[in-house]
């Protein structure tokens, strides 16, 4: 087994020689979306098998909150991986990072357990009626902290049109506000303790935690590129860069982004990690196993600013 792993790694290096130019060590600080927690742990464990001298320090939070740790709190960071590439584009580029690589996708679902009220009845046609029942509680992420939060509201807005239910968004957002949480994975605890019956959540997180989930129509699940124009009609205001400012988030097919911070304390390790993370036979394989399909390669407006080793994962 050890020989096989060594052989495969040598083959990998033959295709990606830049990753092994020099030994790596020191701390590597990664801020990442909560929905990436499971695959990032697996990717980091695999990376450390090759580079045991690197001390990987990961912080999980809502993607907007991750960005604010960099922009507002000036916390040191090498890599940020966001559940919405636009968070990096809007909040970090160009001052805090020069580029952003799109790498995986996801979709919105209604997630529950077998103990949830009406678990045996929920379906594509009645889920919103069930969430509005007085004896049902549901949770969602905070739109000001987490892309899953504003995507949940976008799903409601699109559902209002799809099912021809005027006022549905207002009814849903007014209900159960005490069950909003800073990031989507915080909602799992509410679900597992039966504090809530349903949550708006990414399909990948449901898969990773062995939870039941309802697949939503393509017109509202923010997954399919063919509905990109329809998704754009969903718009959610969130807190902007400055106090009192608002930023408008427009719906689009879900795409995650990853960037290296310009003043990264450990640029060498950060570059190697991102290269490992985006490689088809390493990080991407782990991400896809965890329900997050690759979208590599995507067109990159900052292609010329990318390190040479990373251009293979994008297009001009």
Structure confidence by residue, pLDDT tens digits, 95-106: 999 999 999 999
**292-316 pLDDT, tens per residue?**
999 999 999 999 999 999 999 999 9
pLDDT per residue as tens digits for the range 115-171 = 999 999 999 999 999 999 999 999 999 999 899 999 999 999 999 999 999 999 999
In the predicted structure, residue 12 carries a pLDDT above the cut 50: yes
Assess whether 240 and 266 both reside in one domain. Answer: no
Q: How far apart are CA 56 and CA 222, in angstroms?
A: 32
| Per-residue pLDDT tens digits for 73-84 | 999 999 999 999
Same domain? For 245 and 114 the reply is yes
pLDDT at 1: 47
Do residues 125 and 224 both lie within one domain? yes
- Specify whether 81 is located in the same domain as 114: no
Are β-strands 257-260 and 101-102 bridged in parallel, bridged antiparallel, or unpaired? antiparallel
Verify cis geometry, omega within 30 degrees of 0, for the bond prior to 297.
yes
Per-residue pLDDT at 183: 81
For the entire predicted model, the pTM comes to: 0.86
What CATH code is carried by the domain that includes residue 197?
Answer: 3.40.190.10
Cβ neighbors of 36 (< 8 A, separation 6 or more) are 60, 81, 83, 256, 292
In this model, does residue 72 exceed pLDDT 90? yes
Statement: residue 269 has pLDDT above 80: yes
Residue after which a domain boundary falls, among 250, 269, 298: 250
Domain-embedded: residue 9: no
Instruction: Give domain status of residue 170, yes or no.
Output: yes
Same domain membership, residue 49 and residue 22:
yes
The answer to whether residue 6 sits within a structural domain is: no
Residue that finishes a domain, picked among 250, 267, 294: 250
Examine the domain organization and report whether 308 and 243 are in the same domain.
Answer: no
Angle between helices 37-50 and 267-278 (to 10 degrees): 110
In a domain, 80, yes or no: yes
Does residue 101 sit in the same domain as residue 114?
no
- H-state helical runs in the chain: 2-15, 37-50, 63-71, 85-91, 127-131, 147-162, 168-174, 186-192, 203-208, 228-231, 267-278, 283-289
* 229 and 305 together in one domain: no
Instruction: State which of 250, 283, 307 marks the end of a domain.
Output: 250
> Would 2 be classed as within a structural domain?
no
Split at pLDDT 50, 70, 90, the class of 3 is very low
Distance CA 276, CA 272 (A): 6
Gap between the Cα atoms of 150 and 253, Å rounded: 13
- 69 band by pLDDT with thresholds 50, 70 and 90: very high
pLDDT at residue number 8: 53
27 and 99 housed in the same domain: yes
180 lies in a domain? yes
- In tens, the pLDDT along 168-217 reads 999 999 999 999 998 877 899 999 999 999 999 999 999 999 999 999 99
**Average pLDDT of span 2-22:** 51
Kindly report, residue by residue over 213-267, the tens digit of the pLDDT.
999 999 999 999 999 999 999 999 998 777 778 889 999 999 999 999 999 999 9
Query: Could you list the residue range(s) of the whole structural domain that residue 161 is in?
Result: 108-250
> Are 219 and 297 contained in the same domain?
no
* pLDDT level of residue 11 (50, 70, 90 thresholds): low
Give 143's contacts (C-beta < 8 A, 6+ positions apart). 149, 150, 152, 153, 236, 238, 249
- Position 305 in a domain: yes
Number of structural domains in the chain: 2
On the question of pLDDT at 19 being above 70, the answer is no
pLDDT at residue 15, rounded to an integer? 52
Residues 136 and 217 in one domain: yes
Indicate whether 7 belongs to any domain: no
Q: Would you state the pLDDT for residue 16?
A: 53
Mean pLDDT of 61-77: 95
* Domain identity same for 130 and 168: yes
């Amino acid at each position: 087994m050890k020989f096989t792993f060594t052989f495969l790694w040598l083959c990998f290096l033959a295709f990606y020689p830049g990753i092994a130019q020099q030994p790596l060590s020191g701390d590597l600080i990664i801020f990442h979306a909560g929905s990436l927690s499971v695959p990032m742990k697996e990717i980091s464990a695999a990376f450390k098998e090759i580079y045991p001298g690197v001390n990987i320090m990961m912080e999980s939070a809502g993607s907007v909150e991750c960005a604010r740790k960099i922009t507002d709190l000036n916390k040191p960071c090498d890599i940020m991986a966001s559940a919405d590439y636009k968070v990096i584009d809007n909040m970090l580029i160009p001052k805090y990072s020069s580029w952003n690589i799109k790498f995986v996708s996801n979709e919105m679902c209604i997630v529950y357990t077998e103990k949830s009220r009406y678990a045996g009845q929920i379906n594509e046609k009645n889920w919103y009626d069930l969430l509005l029942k007085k004896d049902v509680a549901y949770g969602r992420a905070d739109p000001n902290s987490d892309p899953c939060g504003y995507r949940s509201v976008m799903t409601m807005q699109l559902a209002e049109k799809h099912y021809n239910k005027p006022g549905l968004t207002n009814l849903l957002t007014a209900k159960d506000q005490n069950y909003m949480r800073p990031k989507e994975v915080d909602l799992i605890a509410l679900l597992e303790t039966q504090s809530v019956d349903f949550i708006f959540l990414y399909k990948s997180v449901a898969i990773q935690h062995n939870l039941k989930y309802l697949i939503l129509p393509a017109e509202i699940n923010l997954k399919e590129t063919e509905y990109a124009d329809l998704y754009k009609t969903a718009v959610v205001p969130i807190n902007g860069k400055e106090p009192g400012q608002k930023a408008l988030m427009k719906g689009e097919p879900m795409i995650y982004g990853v960037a290296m911070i310009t003043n990264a304390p450990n640029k060498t390790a950060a570059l190697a990690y991102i290269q490992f993370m985006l490689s088809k036979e390493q990080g991407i394989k782990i991400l896809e196993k965890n329900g997050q399909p690759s979208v590599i390669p995507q067109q990159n407006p900052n292609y010329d600013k990318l390190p040479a080793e990373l251009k293979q994962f994008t297009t001009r």
